[in-house]
Amino acid sequence: MERTFTPAEANEALATVRPLAEQMVAHRRALAAAQRRQAELVVKIAGNGGDLGPSDLQEAAETIQQSADGIAECVSELDEAGVQVKSVEEGLVDFPSERDGEDVLLCWRVGEDRVAFWHGVDEGFAGRKPLDD
């Protein structure tokens, strides 16, 4: 049985969830940057090698691995907190909840002050409605 949150509990959980979601987004940005860097290096090496050493490529690969591990760790901790990660890029998470006897999801993303939206389980972000509490 998965944990469910009231809007108040979801907002309280932000003390734990917010820093994890922010870290996840930062790791995702670092990962994307490292992947771009790696692709540029591969193109350069394929061209003529330039003045690149294998350490440049190794560094990019290590950054990619560290960022991917960081994302996985954040997702795992968020999952343990009972929260569903919907977008690693945006730090979008859902808190399972109940509204008028129906299963719904309370919706929050990095940058928002508090959990202020909800949507049906099949609706997703586009179906967000304000909580009128």
| Residue 45 covered by a domain | yes
Within a domain: residue 48?
Answer: yes
pLDDT (mean) for 41-54: 73
Q: What is the pLDDT of residues 98-128, one digit of tens each?
A: 999 999 999 999 999 999 999 999 998 889 9
- Which candidate, 4, 1, 2, places its Cα nearest to that of 95? 4
User: Does residue 2 lie in a domain region?
Assistant: no
Specify the number of domains making up the chain.
Answer: 1
Domain that holds residue 19: 7-130
Quote the pLDDT of residue 117: 96
Return the pLDDT at 42: 83
Containing H/E element for 26? Answer: helix 7-47
Q: What is the pLDDT of residue 5?
A: 97
Q: What pLDDT digit, counting tens, does each position of 29-47 carry?
A: 999 999 999 998 888 777 7
> Mean pLDDT, the chain, as a whole number?
92
The pLDDT value recorded for residue 46 is 76
Instruction: Give residue 75's pLDDT band: very low, low, confident or very high (50, 70, 90).
Output: very high
Band (26; pLDDT cuts 50, 70, 90): very high
Question: Of the candidates 34, 30, 27, which has an alpha carbon nearest to the alpha carbon of residue 85?
Answer: 27
Of the candidates 103, 107, 71, 116, which has an alpha carbon nearest to the alpha carbon of residue 86? 107
Residue 1 lies in a domain: no
Q: What is the pLDDT of residue 15?
A: 97
Residue 75 within a domain: yes
Is 53 or 29 the better-scoring residue by pLDDT? 29
Residue type, 12: E
User: Do the domain assignments include residue 15?
Assistant: yes
Average pLDDT over residues 18-23: 98
